Amino acid sequence: MAKFKDYKKTASQFGVGGDTEWLTLEEGDNWVRLMSEFVAYGQHFNNSTKKGSICIGKDNGCPACLANDETMAEAKSAGLKTDIQEPLSVKYLGWVIDRKDKKIKLLRIGHVVFKSIGKIQEQPDTAFDTVPNFDININAENAGTKEVKYTVLASRKDTELTEEEIKKTENLTNPEDILEKMKAKIPHRLPNDIKEIGRQKNDDIPVINEDDEIDASKIDY
């Protein structure tokens, strides 16, 4: 499980229920209460389809990793230079309470937001162990675009969870288990299948579109 204060270590590592809802960060203020630690994972972004896919690791037969290798190998043999077709970035997954509607939701964030929370955790007056006992505000500017900018601020006061909120979080699925279920849906390929992957249609690979909400009902918990 990734700890917020370990954002530097994670950056180095990555090079940088059916009725479950997902929180999409909207323009402006997004007040949330973190209800779990967040699990880190790699995500490829396909420059052609403008969609993302979870990385399961090249050694585990990640289609995007192997497709990248094929593209770079072909370019090298032809004496050409090319960019990686499906670059890898780090994402984080965890549970929050959306203060807008008071619902428990899954939240996927990038390293900028994760690092900002880590900075809050490092400050003496806002330090916490696993999750803070105060709300945080993730302010988004130009949400839904490549130019999006995030500012993360801590609430000025601690607030106790209500009995109803505590009850809602008692049986939450561990984010790590959710991620493993998502990874299990990725088609595994062996390195010697690399040519087949290069010809494989992008539609055959489960993807995550950063601009759309994920239908969590399609994930078997």
Secondary structure element (H or E) that encloses residue 107, with its range: strand 103-110
Q: What percentage of residues in the chain have a pLDDT greater than 90?
A: 47
Cα separation, 133 vs 145, in Å, equals: 31
The CATH architecture to which 4-16+23-197 belongs is Alpha-Beta Complex (3.90)
The whole-number pLDDT of residue 177 equals: 92
Give the residue, 198 or 38, on which the prediction is more confident: 38
How is the chain split into domains, by residue range?
4-16+23-197
Structure confidence at residue 13 as a pLDDT band (50, 70, 90)? low
Confidence (pTM): 0.74
Cα separation, 13 vs 191, in Å, equals: 22
User: 50-92, pLDDT tens digit by residue?
Assistant: 888 899 888 888 888 888 888 778 767 777 666 677 888 999 9
Q: Which residues pair with 151 in a beta bridge?
A: 139
* pLDDT for residue 112 is more than 70: yes
Cα separation, 212 vs 152, in Å, equals: 22
